[in-house]
Structures are given as structure tokens and as C-alpha cells.
Chain A
Amino acid sequence: MPRFDPGLLRTQRWMQDAILTPGPVAGVPRMILPSKTLEPLERLDIYRNMYVARLQEALEVDYPALLEYLGGDMFSDLIALYLKHNPSRSYTLNRLGDRLPDFVRRLENVPRPGFAHDIARMELAMTEVVDEEETPALTPDAIAAVPANAWTTVRLRPVKALRLLALRYPVNDYLNAIWASEPMPRLARKNTWLAISRRNYTLARTPLTGPAFHVLSALIEGRTLAEALAGRRLKQDQLFAWFRDWVAAGIFHRVEL
């Protein structure tokens, strides 16, 4: 039989299509030689099988709570479908799962898609915070240097490794229960708020109250303290307690007078 050579470009497109597309593949015996033990399609299937397995493994690392919630079979089906619609276009696997939260929300066969969506949002935020550039946290000296009468007009700039989440389900409690191997909390709908930050390369998940979330969000958007507090009835002790917690968590990077 004459040697079949469709050229490099067509060979690579053919093989990639075969890997990305489940089901029958045309032209395998013409393209690939058999070995002593495997037929051409069996040899090609080694690459086809490894593709989904490798990428699913990467997403399991990023989304362990979603995996726990959905179970292995449903998670596998989800990832296969996700990869079909969102194949990697990057040299890195680090951001392969960036579209997974929105993808989960739109699926009809996922139980409580809102809960699954919130879990995925939280886990995506955690991976983002892990990879963010390290920026030093605000020091006590920098805080002490702010004149007392200037606090209402200062702007507090956050560290880069920070995400704030408003959630519809208590997914932080769910993740804590998984990690502690404790009974799962009720999955009933309940508004919760969360700050995910990193200090000294260690990730922290800090639960917030609704008012604290809104004040902190305003500060991070660049509003002054006075602007962030406008229209809110807050006791000074409450505000001081929040600020102390946020500084301790390393949420702020610097103060701009």
C-alpha cells in the first residue's frame, strides 16, 4: 500500500479532532500504523482517553467541593460537556476552569444549580487569590501615621489577592464541613458574604455580615470611609471591630491620604 501523507497541517488537525471529539474516527488505518499488540484505533485511543482524564484531574484540584457535591459520575459528565464547549486555548491549565461557574449555572440536570454555582464561584475565587501577585499588607506603622482627623477622607487600597463574594447559599460552611469531615450543613437558601484573601501565602476565608460586606466593597471600589458609611447607622465599636479584623486578615495594602 502506498505511504499516505496528508501533510503536517492536515495530520495535526485530524489528530486533534480525533482527540477532542468522542465517537468514531475516519481514516485511522491510513494515518496510523498498527503495533504488534494494538490496532491503529487502539493506539490513537490512548491519547483520546488521556485527554479528558488529564484535564478532569486538573479541574478536580481546583473544584474539590463541587466534585464532592455532584459526586464523581456527575462531575465527570459535567467536565466532559464543559470541555466540549470550552476547550483550552492557553498554554496553562491554571485558568482552564474559569468559565465553569457560569457553565454550571446554566445546566438543567444539576441538583440545586444555584448551590452548585455558588460553590464553583467560591472555588474559582480561591484559585484566583492563590495566583494573584503578592502585595504587602498594611502595617501598624502606616495606620498609626494617619492623622485622626483624616480618617473620613482616606482611601484604603486592597491587596491584589482579595475577592469578595455575595452568595445565596452557605457554601463556606459546606466547604468547612468537607475539610473537617463533619456532617454537611443544610443546603437551604441563605444569603452569606465572604472575603477570600491571602497573607504570607496562606489563604483565608473570612465570613462577613451583609453590612460589613457592603462597607468593605465600597472601600475596595475606592470610596472614602465617609462615602462608604454614608446612610448607614453603625456604632463606632462595630466599625472598629470590622476594621481590626480586616487589617488582621491583611485585606488592605495601603492608605491614601
Chain B
Amino acid sequence: MSENRWGYPDLGFGVGLRTVHYQHILANKPAVDWFEILSENYLDTGGRPLYVLDFVAERYPVVLHGVSLSVGSTDPIDFEYLRKLKALSRRINARWVSDHLCWTGVSGLNVHDLLPMPYTDESLRHTIQRIRTIADYLERPLVLENPSTYVEFAASTWTEWDFLATLAREADCGILLDVNNIYVSSYNHGFDPDVYVDAIPAERVTQLHLAGHTNKGTHILDTHSDYVIDRVWELYRRVFQRMGGIATLLEWDESIPAFEVVHGEALKAKQHREQLEAQPPVPLVDAPAPEVYAAV
């Protein structure tokens, strides 16, 4: 089994905390290993969402997962947002704080989408500096997720996996490896998802995401609206073989079924791991690190 850089624990198999499941969780206290919450849903409310969150945080490990950090944006860092994020993470004793390798807006606006970065030297240098600043403020490592993307910029000179691996090493941040997103982007951009998985430095990977998606034929949308497909389970097994047991979370955000269905899908990951653990171990070999960006 590998261990990530900060010794963050393998929390087991969790699910995202969603409003439609509040009543079930309050009434039944289901036997879930851990919950991930969407940070922005709890930053500015004193109502029922915060009450439920406190209830959950008293009983389960909780991880904060944001969508508005905009770590790659050229706008100034929003320290008021960070102040609230830090306070929330302390309130619920968040095991770690994650967001996405993306930007969500510029010129003071927010389009509320995980917009893709051009993978250039400039982007890398810019994002590394911001991650360091944010981690210093939060007084904890930042964990960043690879997003699903639908465009590739002509300006890009890095592959996404080399960009992410280098970013994580140089900025000293963690990686939330979304296995479904790797598959979605590989379909949309035509790369080999196995190559992506093999290039990620295992010691940086703090958490894994799994989800379903919507295949439109010409492209795939990361809708979190369905069961995990077999090819993504194959990738998950590859990740386990390379990196060992890592906290795994099942996301389901559209057409959300009953809690037991979502939790049952998360527990399929446990079955895959148990099957692999029963097999002879495969030695962990990291892909060679890409050339480190010299100016950082």
C-alpha cells in the first residue's frame, strides 16, 4: 500500500452529501465510511444545511470539496472566500480541502463552471504561485482535482497529466484523481487514459473520485448522473494496482437515486479492491517525472 505525501488516511468509501438525502441520513445514520461536501453550499448559510452538516461532522469524517476557488484564474485571489473556507474547515474538522485545476471566471465574474486551463509554461508558473499562497493561508496543503474538459487550447504545450504531475510536485499540493474525468477527457480529446494514470505521482494522490457520465456520441459530458461504466472501473483497478488504497468517493449529482443506491455504487469500489487484494501484488512503479519547469 502506498501512502500519500502528508499521511492523509485512506478513509474508505464515501459519498457526496446531497440535500435529497438529508432526511435519510438524519433518520438512519447510515454506515458510510465518510462524506464529501460541496464547500460553497455551506459557506453562507445558517439554516438547515449547516445543521445537517454539523450532525454529519459529529459522526463521520468529512472532506471539503469546492468549485469556486478558481485557482487558475488571472483575477486576484478571493481572500474573503478563503477566510470562510478556512473557518468552515475548522468548524467541521475537515480531513482535507480540495478544489479543481481550473478557473471559474475573470474580471470579477463567475460563470460557475470548471473552465479548462491552457497547459502552458505561463499557466504552470501562475498556478503554482497561487497554490502556494492559498495553502499558506489555509495552513494546510491544497488538494486539486483533474476536471473533465471539452476543449483543448492550441496554445497548450503540456499534456494534462504532465502538467498536473509537475504542478503537484512544484506547488507541493495533493491530487484528487477523478478517474471518471480521466476517461471523459480521454474520450473527448483522444488520448490513452492508462497513460494518464501511469503518469500521476502516487505519493501526491490523496483522494479518488468515481462517477457516471453521459455519452453524447461525439463527446462525453461529466454529468454525475448514472452508474460508473466498466471502463472507468478498469481504470480504478489500475489506479489501485499502482497506488494502493486511497480514499474513494462516489459522486451522483443529477437524477439522484435513493441513498442506498448511491452508497451501493460506492461500495462496488470496495469489491474491486478486495478482488485485487486477493491477487498477487503488483510492484508500484511511478512513471519518470517530466522535466521540471526550471523557472519555478
Q: Residues of A at under 8 Å CB distance from B?
A: 3-9, 11-13, 15-16, 19-20, 30-33, 35-38, 40, 42-44, 46-47, 50-51, 54-55, 58, 87-95, 129-134, 160-161, 198, 201
Main DSSP-derived SS at the B contact region: loop
The smallest beta-carbon distance between B100 and chain A, in angstroms, is 13
Given known pairs A30-B154, A161-B47, the reply for A35 and B106 (CB within 8 Å) is no
Tally of contacts, chain A with chain B, CB under 8 A: 137
B150 touches A43 (CB 8 A): yes
Q: Which of B51-81 contact A (CB under 8 A)?
A: 51, 68, 72-74, 78, 81
A131 touches B154 (CB 8 A): no
Can you list 28 A-B contacts with CB-CB less than 8 angstroms, sorted by A residue number? A5-B120, A5-B155, A9-B106, A16-B109, A31-B154, A32-B152, A33-B151, A33-B153, A35-B219, A37-B218, A42-B218, A43-B152, A44-B151, A47-B150, A54-B112, A87-B110, A94-B40, A94-B44, A94-B45, A129-B47, A130-B48, A131-B44, A131-B46, A131-B47, A133-B46, A160-B46, A198-B47, A201-B48
Q: Which of A4, A32, A47, A132 contacts B46 (CB 8 A)?
A: A132
B155 touches A3 (CB 8 A): yes
Q: Which of B102-117 contact A (CB under 8 A)?
A: 103, 105-113, 115
Cα separation A186 to B221 with both chains bound (whole Å):
44
Q: Residues of B at under 8 Å CB distance from A?
A: 40, 43-48, 50-51, 68, 72-74, 78, 81, 103, 105-113, 115, 118, 120, 122-123, 126, 150-155, 157, 188-190, 217-219, 221
Residue of B whose beta carbon sits closest to that of A129: B47
Residue of B whose beta carbon sits closest to that of A13: B106
Give the chain A neighbours of B112 by CB distance below 8 A: 51, 54-55, 58, 88, 93
A46 touches B68 (CB 8 A): no
Give the chain A neighbours of B78 by CB distance below 8 A: 91
Give the chain A neighbours of B50 by CB distance below 8 A: 134
Give the chain B neighbours of A32 by CB distance below 8 A: 151-154
Cα separation A12 to B106 with both chains bound (whole Å):
7
Cα separation A38 to B216 with both chains bound (whole Å):
12
Give the chain B neighbours of A36 by CB distance below 8 A: 190
Q: Which of B44, B108, B111, B154 contacts A92 (CB 8 A)?
A: B44
Given known pairs A5-B155, A46-B219, the reply for A89 and B109 (CB within 8 Å) is yes
Give the chain B neighbours of A42 by CB distance below 8 A: 218
Q: Which of B43, B81, B107 contacts A13 (CB 8 A)?
A: B107
B155 touches A35 (CB 8 A): no
Given known pairs A16-B107, A20-B111, A51-B111, the reply for A11 and B43 (CB within 8 Å) is no
Cα separation A5 to B105 with both chains bound (whole Å):
19
Give the chain A neighbours of B155 by CB distance below 8 A: 3-6, 11, 31
Q: Which of B73, B103, B111 contacts A88 (CB 8 A)?
A: B111
A87 touches B44 (CB 8 A): no
Give the chain B neighbours of A38 by CB distance below 8 A: 218-219
The smallest beta-carbon distance between B64 and chain A, in angstroms, is 13
Among B50, B103, B118, find the residue whose CB has the most chain A CB atoms closer than 10 A.
B118
Cα separation A55 to B112 with both chains bound (whole Å):
8
Give the chain A neighbours of B118 by CB distance below 8 A: 5, 8, 11
